[in-house]
Amino acid sequence: QQQVKQSPQSLIVQKGGISIINCAYENTAFDYFPWYQQFPGKGPALLIAIRPDVSEKKEGRFTISFNKSAKQFSLHIMDSQPGDSATYFCAALTTGGGNKLTFGTGTQLKVEL
Amino acid sequence: NAGVTQTPKFQVLKTGQSMTLQCAQDMNHEYMSWYRQDPGMGLRLIHYSVGAGITDQGEVPNGYNVSRSTTEDFPLRLLSAAPSQTSVYFCASHGIGDPRAANSPLHFGNGTRLTVT
């Protein structure tokens, strides 16, 4: 079963626009929610992360919004740039039992000029 | 500072062959793991280790073996390769303790692209 559901699968945004990627989870034991960015030929790299006791976290143009009651969280990329074109993964972590990450299925973002 | 190093970058195997994917980290991290990445399925955990001599199964362990004889190395063995194991494999590591307190819960290597024909 997919414990972390991510949408959309792909996204095309114009330069300067807002990119929004959504994730939903089921397991209430998850207690940390990172987002990873992956460029072709590279491994995923941490972009931004949030704890469930915080509703929003902003780092530069990247913002995570978190809704604990709905078990949903989303990544917003403001003023999207062509250099943001990459695959984005949401993930959820349980800090017990080996700190295992469960990933969403990924969103391929393309920012067009 | 090499971080997490995976070798080889590319590999082609025939069905039934065996091979070992190498992973080494130079950050003295206790925790290491192997993921496979397939289109539309994200990254799925194969095996992980919380320290030398300790390994455990992840979500998709069948057909793979691991061992952790040193802190630095965590090889992944394919016992008898099958076309279903065609994938990109990523090794990752992080230090012990609360990963939420760290800047990055996982450091990933750049992957091994495996094709089984």
Predicted confidence (pLDDT) per residue in A25-76, tens digit: 998 888 889 999 999 999 999 899 998 889 999 999 999 999 999 999 999 9
B45, A101: Cβ pair inside 8 Å? yes
Nearest CB neighbour to A32, from listed B48, B92, B100: B100
Structure confidence by residue, pLDDT tens digits, B15-48: 999 999 999 999 888 889 999 999 888 899 999 9
User: How close, in Å, is residue A87 to chain B by CA atoms?
Assistant: 10
**Helical (H) or strand (E) element with B72:** none
Q: Is residue A52 left, alpha or beta, with left meaning phi > 0 and alpha meaning psi from -120 to 50?
A: alpha
pLDDT bucket at A98, cuts 50 / 70 / 90: low
User: How close, in Å, is residue B11 to chain A by CA atoms?
Assistant: 14
Burial A62-87 (b: 16+ CB within 10 A, else e): bbbbbeeeebebbbbbeebeeebbbb
Structure tokens at A113: 């000029």
What pLDDT is attached to residue B104?
Answer: 56
Cα–Cα distance, B83 to A42 (Å, whole number): 23
A89, B43: Cβ pair inside 8 Å? yes
